[in-house]
Structure 1
Amino acid sequence: MNPVALRSILFVPATRPERIAKALASAADAVIVDLEDAVAESDKASARDALDAFLAHNPQARIMVRVNAPGTYHYKPDLELCSRHATVTHLVIPKAESCQSLETAAICNKPLWPLIETARGLLALPTLVYVSGVERLSFGALDLSAELGLTPDTPGARQILDQARYQLLVYSRAAGLAPPIESPHPALEDTEAVAQAATRAREMGFAGMLCIHPRQLPPVNRAFSPSEAEVAWASKVVEGATRQEGAFSVEGQMVDAPVIARAQAILARYKAYES
Structure 2
Amino acid sequence: MSTNHGLPPLTWLYAPGDRPEVVGKALASGADVVLVDLEDAVAPDRKAYARAATAERLTDLTPVPVHVRVNAPDSPWADDDLTALAALPGLAGLRLPKVTSPADVVAVAEYAATARGGTVPLYALLETALGVERAFDIATAHPAVRGVALGESDLRADLGVRQDAGLDWSRARLVVAARAAALPAPSQSVYPDTRDLAGLAASCAHGRALGFLGRAAIHPRQLPVIENAYAPAEEEIVRAEEIIKAAAREQGAQALPDGRFIDTAVVREACLTLSLARRRR
In the superposition, the TM-score normalised over structure 1's length comes to 0.91
Q: 1:195 aligns with which of 174, 193, 201?
A: 201
CA contact (8 A) 1:139 1:183 kept: yes
State how far apart, in whole Å, the 2-side matches of 1:104 and 1:249 are: 49
| TM-aligned CA deviation for residue 249 of structure 1 | 2.0
Q: 1:80 aligns with which of 73, 83, 86?
A: 83
| TM-aligned CA deviation for residue 248 of structure 1 | 2.3
CA contact (8 A) 1:27 1:218 kept: no
State how far apart, in whole Å, the 2-side matches of 1:259 and 1:127 are: 27
State how far apart, in whole Å, the 1-side matches of 2:200 and 2:68 are: 23
Decide which moves more: 203-212 or 239-248: 239-248
Equivalent residue runs for 1:45-60 within 5 Å: 45-56=48-59, 58-60=60-62
State how far apart, in whole Å, the 1-side matches of 2:51 and 2:152 are: 26
Residue 260 of structure 1 corresponds to which residue in structure 2?
Answer: 267
Decide which moves more: 59-68 or 210-219: 59-68
SS in 1 for 2:35: strand
Residue 116 of structure 2 corresponds to which residue in structure 1?
Answer: none
Counterparts in 2 of 1:184 and 1:33: CA distance versus 1, 3 Å: same
Are residues 1:218 and 2:224 paired?
Answer: yes
Are residues 1:18 and 2:21 paired?
Answer: yes
Equivalent residue runs for 1:85-100 within 5 Å: 85-100=88-103
CA contact (8 A) 2:243 2:262 kept: no
State how far apart, in whole Å, the 1-side matches of 2:136 and 2:32 are: 29
State how far apart, in whole Å, the 1-side matches of 2:55 and 2:139 are: 30
| TM-aligned CA deviation for residue 3 of structure 1 | 7.0
State how far apart, in whole Å, the 1-side matches of 2:99 and 2:7 are: 23
Are residues 1:5 and 2:8 paired?
Answer: yes
Count of residues in correspondence between the two structures? 267
After superposition, the CA RMSD in angstroms is: 1.8
Residue 113 of structure 1 corresponds to which residue in structure 2?
Answer: 123
SS in 1 for 2:133: helix
Residue 186 of structure 1 corresponds to which residue in structure 2?
Answer: 192
State how far apart, in whole Å, the 2-side matches of 1:255 and 1:122 are: 34
Are residues 1:230 and 2:233 paired?
Answer: no
Counterparts in 2 of 1:81 and 1:31: CA distance versus 1, 3 Å: same
Are residues 1:65 and 2:68 paired?
Answer: yes
Tell me which amino acid in the other structure corresponds to 2:151: G
CA contact (8 A) 1:237 1:255 kept: no
Gaps of 5+ in 2: 113-118
